[in-house]
Amino acid sequence: MGNFSQKVDKFIDIFLNQNGYVKVVQGLQNTLLIAITGLIIGIVIGTLIATVRVIPKYKTLPRVLNHICSFYVALFRGTPIVVQLLIFYYVLLPIFGVKITGVQVSMVVFGLNSGAYISEIMRSGIQSVDQGQMEAGRAVGLSFGTSMMKIVIPQAVKNILPTLGNEFISLIKETSVVSFVGAADLYVAFNFIGSNSYEFMVPYLVMALIYIALVLVITLLVKLLERSLKKSDRRN
C-alpha cells in the first residue's frame, strides 16, 4: 500500500498547496446552489401543476391548462437531464440571445426538471388528503384556490415530505452532470486536482465521500422537519 499513501500525499499537496481547496469549496457552493435553487423552483412549479391537475374539469380553461401541464411533464420526464441542459445552453440561449452562465442555466433547468417530478409527487400528496377537507373549505365560502392553499396543500406537504427529501437527494447527485455546460461543480473541482497530479483514484474517492456526507446531512434535516410538522398528529 506504499503506492496508495504516495497518492494520498500527492492529493493533499495539490489540495492544500495548489489552491485545490478553493476549487473544491467553489464546486461545493455551485453544487448546493444549483440543487437548492432547483428544488425551490421545482416545488413552486410542481405545486402549481399539481393544483391545475386536480381542478375539476367542467370548464374549458382548466381543461386546456391540464393539457399544457401534461405536455410539460411528458417533455421534462421524457428526456435526460443532460439533453435538457445542452438544449437550453446551446440551442435556446443563442436563439433568444440571452447571455447567462452555466451555473444559472443549470439552476433553471434543474428547477424545470424537478418541477415535473415534484408535480407528480405533489399530486399524489393532494389526492391523499381526504376529500372532505376540501369540501369543508368550500362549504364556508372559501374559493377552490384558497381552500387548496390553506387547508389541503399544508396537509399534502406533510404526507409527501419523505418523498420530497428523496427528490432533493437525487437532485444533489444529478447535479454532477452540469460540467456539460461549463458549470464548475464538485466533479470539475476534483477533476482539476486529478488532472494536475495525473492521479484520479484519491480525488474521486474523496468526491464520493463528500456526496455521501451531503446526503446524510439532508436526510437528517428532513427527519427534523418531519418531526416538527408532526405537531398536529400528536396527542397532547
Partner 1 sequence: MIDVINLQKSFGDKEILKGINVTINKGDIVAVLGPSGSGKSTFLRCLNCMEDPTGGSIIFNGVDIADMKVDINVHRRHMGMVFQHFNLYNNKTVLQNVMMAPAYLRCKDIDKAKKKNRMIKFKNLFRGSNKKEELIPITETKDQIKKEVKEQAMALLKRIGLEDKADVYPSTLSGGQKQRVAIIRSMAMNPDVILFDEPTSALDPEMVGEVLELMKDLAKEGMTMVVVTHEMGFAREVASRVLFIDDGQIKEEAAPPAEFFEHPKDPRLQEFLSKIL
Which residues of the shown chain bind partner 1 in the complex (CB under 8 A)? 58, 130, 132-133, 135-143, 146, 150-151, 154-155, 158, 231-236
Question: Cβ of residue 205: shortest distance to partner 1, in angstroms?
Answer: 45
Q: Which is nearer to partner 1, 32 or 142 (CB)?
A: 142
d(CA 187, CA 174): 11
Place of cell 410539460: 72
Question: Cβ of residue 231: shortest distance to partner 1, in angstroms?
Answer: 7
Q: Which is nearer to partner 1, 70 or 127 (CB)?
A: 127
Please state whether 144 falls in left (phi above 0), alpha (psi between -120 and 50) or beta. Answer: alpha
Question: Cβ of residue 36: shortest distance to partner 1, in angstroms?
Answer: 25
b vs e for 155-177, b when ≥16 Cβ sit within 10 Å of the residue's Cβ?
bbbbbbbebbbbbbbebbebbeb
Q: What is the DSSP letter of 182?
A: T
Question: Cβ of residue 161: shortest distance to partner 1, in angstroms?
Answer: 13
Question: Cβ of residue 111: shortest distance to partner 1, in angstroms?
Answer: 27
Q: Which is nearer to partner 1, 142 or 218 (CB)?
A: 142
Question: Cβ of residue 75: shortest distance to partner 1, in angstroms?
Answer: 33
The values of phi and psi at residue 34, to 5°, are: -65, -45
3-state SS, residue 80: coil
Longest dimension (CA), the chain: 76
d(CA 46, CA 40): 10
Spatial contact of 152 and 134, defined as CB atoms under 8 Å apart: yes
